[in-house]
């Protein structure tokens, strides 16, 4: 009887931890880099190129939004309802790796050695779904376009 119970526990654990049961709710690929968001049993997981980066206890909507369509009103009203991922495109403007995107300034200093003046970069900004602050960016992923 003991073996049966241990076997059942192992089987149930494997079944519940299997990421194949998670539903992909958002996905985007640029230049070979992929951001994917899955949800299962009240948990939202963010994957960058197949590697799990972040997990939230969150079961709301997930939206990948162009930078021009993500408004302050949407960000203020997202708390525990929507996880926004802002997708923006910018250009490196100088050798100090300052940049310009459609809505203003962005720094590309973290990409030192990977980009130079004139290069374009797609950036994904993941906003914390548990706050209503308009600047609460929990994760950032950059994709240099060559």
pLDDT of residue 71: 96
Torsion angle (degrees, nearest 10) of CA 84, 126, 118, 103:
50
Angstrom distance (rounded) from CA 44 to CA 40: 7
pTM for this model (two decimals): 0.84
Per-residue confidence in pLDDT tens, the chain, 146 aa: 555 455 444 444 444 455 557 899 999 999 999 999 999 999 999 999 999 999 999 999 999 999 999 999 999 999 999 999 999 999 999 999 999 999 899 999 999 999 999 999 999 999 999 999 999 999 999 999 97
Beta bridge partner(s), residue 24: 38
Angstrom distance (rounded) from CA 63 to CA 103: 19
pLDDT of residue 20: 57
pLDDT of residue 3: 53
8 Å CB contact between 45 and 35 = no
pLDDT of residue 116: 97
pLDDT of residue 18: 52
pLDDT of residue 1: 55
Angstrom distance (rounded) from CA 62 to CA 81: 9
Residue 6 CB: number of other CB atoms within 10 A? 10
Give the start-to-end residue ranges of the domains of the chain.
22-145
């Amino acid at each position: 009887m003991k073996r049966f119970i241990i076997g059942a526990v192992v089987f149930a654990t494997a079944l519940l931890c299997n990421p194949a049961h998670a539903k992909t709710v958002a996905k985007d690929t640029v230049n070979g880099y992929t951001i994917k968001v899955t949800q299962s049993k009240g948990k939202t997981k963010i994957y960058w190129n197949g590697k799990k980066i972040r997990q939230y206890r969150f079961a709301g909507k997930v939206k990948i939004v162009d930078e021009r369509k993500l408004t302050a009103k949407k960000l203020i009203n997202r708390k525990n309802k929507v996880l926004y991922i802002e997708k923006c495109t910018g250009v490196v403007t100088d050798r100090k790796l300052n940049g310009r995107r459609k809505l203003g300034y962005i720094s590309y200093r973290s990409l030192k050695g990977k980009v130079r003046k004139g290069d374009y970069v797609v950036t994904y900004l993941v906003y914390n779904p548990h706050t209503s602050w308009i600047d609460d960016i929990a994760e950032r992923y950059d994709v240099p376009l060559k």
